[in-house]
């Protein structure tokens, strides 16, 4: 398997989720946002931890247990604990915001 993380980037009405690799206990995906944000009142609460890096564009990521959203720029990465409620407040609309997300099982 091979590819290019920046191939096929086009603006779309919905976020794009591309699974790059899926193995037991591991999923690597590319997420492409084009100005999308989480719906009002919606919070992600994933069962597994996630390591994510922003490769291009910009975003505001908000955790329910923090008073303000975090601004993410290319190169910023973080590990999100399982079940930690979070949402995307904003993504750059003038260019693709490309994320690389690694979902994994608990060690």
CATH number at residue 63: 2.60.120.10
Residue 11 has pLDDT above 90, yes or no: no
On whether residue 4 sits in a domain, the answer given is: no
The pLDDT score that the predictor gives to residue 8 is 84
Find the distance separating the first CA and the last CA of the chain, reported in whole Å. Answer: 26
- Write out the residue range of the structural domain in which residue 81 sits: 16-104
d(C-alpha 18, C-alpha 53), whole Å: 15
On whether residue 25 sits in a domain, the answer given is: yes
On whether residue 9 sits in a domain, the answer given is: no
On whether residue 6 sits in a domain, the answer given is: no
Q: Please count the structural domains in the chain.
A: 1
Task: Give the pLDDT confidence of 17-57 residue by residue, as tens digits.
Answer: 999 999 999 999 999 999 999 999 999 999 999 999 999 99
Instruction: Please classify residue 63 by burial: count the beta carbons closer than 10 Å to its beta carbon, then call 0-12 exposed, 13-18 middle and 19+ buried.
Output: middle
Q: How distant, in Å, are the alpha carbons of 16, 36, 97, 104, 105 from that of 47? A: 21, 23, 24, 10, 9
d(C-alpha 104, C-alpha 47), whole Å: 10
């Amino acid at each position: 398997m091979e590819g290019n993380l920046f191939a096929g980037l086009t603006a779309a009405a919905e976020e794009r989720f591309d699974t790059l690799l899926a193995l037991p206990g591991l999923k690597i995906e590319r997420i492409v946002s084009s100005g999308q944000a989480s719906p009002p009142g919606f919070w992600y609460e994933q069962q597994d931890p996630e390591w994510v890096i922003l490769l291009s564009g910009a975003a505001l990521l908000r955790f329910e247990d923090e008073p303000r959203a975090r601004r993410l720029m290319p190169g910023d990465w973080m590990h999100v604990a399982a079940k930690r409620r979070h949402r995307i407040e904003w993504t750059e609309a003038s260019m693709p915001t490309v994320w690389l997300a690694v979902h994994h099982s608990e060690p």
